[in-house]
Amino acid sequence: MKRLIRLILCAALPVFFGLTGAGQAAGLVAATEFGADNEIIVQFNTPVDPAEATDTQSYTVYEETDPDIRLTVSEVSLSTDGRQATLSFAEPLNTSVAHVVTLHDVGGVAETSFSVSKSYLGYLFSILISALLINNFVFTKYLGLCVFFGTSKRKQTAKGMGVVFTIVIVVAVSMSWVLFQYVLKPFNLDYLQIVIFIGLTSLTVQAVDTVLRKVNPILFKSFGVYLVLVIANCVIIAVPLLMASNEYNYFETFMLSLGAGGGFLLALYLMSSVSERLELARVPASFKGLPIAFIVAGQFAMAFLGFSGLQLF
């Protein structure tokens, strides 16, 4: 019996101390966040030893998507109360991905790891703003130009086309995500992405075509053949392919499709506003029509390049 008790204690003590260490490790760090473009801020629950906390060798940092590459911590500064450490790096951090930080012999804990990332709501909003402005599919990727030039002559038509396009792309991409996650990926049918996505887009456009024909015949006639061209619009094919390649979840996919549709609506409205003014402007005969439209679109594209590198979160 004594031998049995001794064996149980020998097995239980390491587990107990391991759990105690894990609990202490979990209670060491209170909060983390990105600071400047090359900083990570770590908040401790209790004051830590300055010698341990300011030693750059006490930290191992890498991007969660690339654990083999260690990021060099150039300097660590500790607040006067010993509860906040600011890690400075030699190069700017890619704050769009999560970073993993491991502490060694800090605060009485042998080793503990935690993740540093942006707010998820901020990340979702950044996807929306990126598709809307920073990486606008018309002015920075030059996709969907056929429908863009064809329906950007009147504000009313441009707004209607932009709203219809946004509805189509949100519905089509949502269905594409469901099929991709639950049919294509599980059965290794990724090579059918383009065929499936085009089919879903065609189905959505046909449904919108039928509804719009009954609800608003005037708007339907103003679209003409361009509503059908939504099926072949490069933007509406690029978004689900981008979703699949980035492995977005549904919320991220929804924000991407909403941003792409909103960006297309913005591009149409801006172009239609200028087109109405161009009709009254003194444009040389050789530049009237499509040539001046290309020039204006190029100027808009140059203006949208000013959003490159913008980070709100």
Residues 179-232 have pLDDT tens digits of: 999 999 999 998 999 899 988 888 888 888 888 888 888 877 776 666 776 776
What are the tens digits of pLDDT across the range 44-84? 999 999 999 999 999 999 999 889 999 999 999 999 999 99
Q: Are residues 136 and 252 in the same domain?
A: yes
Decide if pLDDT at 158 tops 70. yes
At 23, the pLDDT band (50, 70, 90 cuts) reads very low
The number of folded domains in the chain is 2
| 192 and 110 in a common domain | no
pLDDT at 13 over 90: no
Please indicate, yes or no, whether residues 171 and 105 belong to a single structural domain of this protein.
no
Whether 313 is in a domain gets the answer no
Residue 261's pLDDT is what?
94
Contacts of 80-85 with CB under 8 Å at 24 or more apart are: 81/47, 82/44, 82/47, 82/48, 82/49, 82/50, 82/53, 83/30, 83/43, 83/44, 83/45, 83/46, 83/47, 83/48, 84/41, 84/42, 84/43, 84/44, 85/41, 85/42, 85/44, 85/48, 85/53, 85/54
Does residue 163 form part of some domain?
yes
Residues 230 and 254 both lie in one domain: yes
Alpha-carbon distances, residue 139 vs 102, 165, 263 (angstroms): 42, 17, 9
Q: Which pLDDT value is given to residue 25?
A: 43
Q: Identify which has the larger pLDDT, 150 or 252.
A: 252
Q: Would 143 be classed as within a structural domain?
A: yes
Last residue of a domain, one of 96, 116, 136: 116
Identify the domain boundary among 58, 90, 116.
Answer: 116
Residues 189 and 282 in one domain: yes
Q: Are residues 41 and 182 in the same domain?
A: no
Q: What percent of the chain has pLDDT over 70?
A: 88
Q: Which residues of 108-139 are buried (b: 16+ CB within 10 A; e: fewer)?
A: ebeebebebbbeeeebbbbbbbbbbbbbbbbb
Q: Between residues 301 and 119, which one has the greater pLDDT?
A: 301
How much is the pLDDT for 230? 74
pLDDT bracket for residue 4 (50, 70, 90): very low
CA–CA dist 223, 199 (Å, integer): 21
- Residue 33 is assigned to a structural domain of this protein: yes
Do residues 26 and 36 make contact, with C-beta atoms less than 8 angstroms apart?
no
CB atoms near residue 9 (< 10 Å): 10
Residue 149 lies in a domain: yes
The CATH number of the domain holding residue 97 is 2.60.40.1220
Residue 148 and residue 254 share a domain? yes
What range defines the domain where residue 99 resides?
Answer: 29-116
Indicate the DSSP class of residue 72: P
Rounded mean pLDDT of the chain?
85
The pLDDT of residue 313 is 62
Q: What is the pLDDT of residue 232?
A: 65
170 within 8 A of 253, measured Cβ to Cβ: no
Q: Do 167 and 70 share a structural domain?
A: no
Q: Are residues 57 and 196 in the same domain?
A: no
**Of 72, 93, 116, which residue constitutes the final position of a domain?**
116
Alpha-carbon distance 200 to 184, whole Å? 14
What 3-state DSSP class applies to 153? coil
Cut 0.85: pTM above it: no
Residue 78, H or E segment = strand 73-78
Q: What pLDDT shows up at residue 174?
A: 94
> Residue holding tokens 């038509």?
157
Is residue 23 in some structural domain? no
> Does 273 lie in the same domain as 139?
yes
Residue 197, domain member (yes or no): yes
Domain assignment present for 5:
no
Q: Encode pLDDT of 73-111 as tens digits.
A: 999 999 999 999 999 998 999 887 889 999 999 988 889
In a shared domain, residues 158 and 235: yes
**One domain, residues 38 and 90:** yes
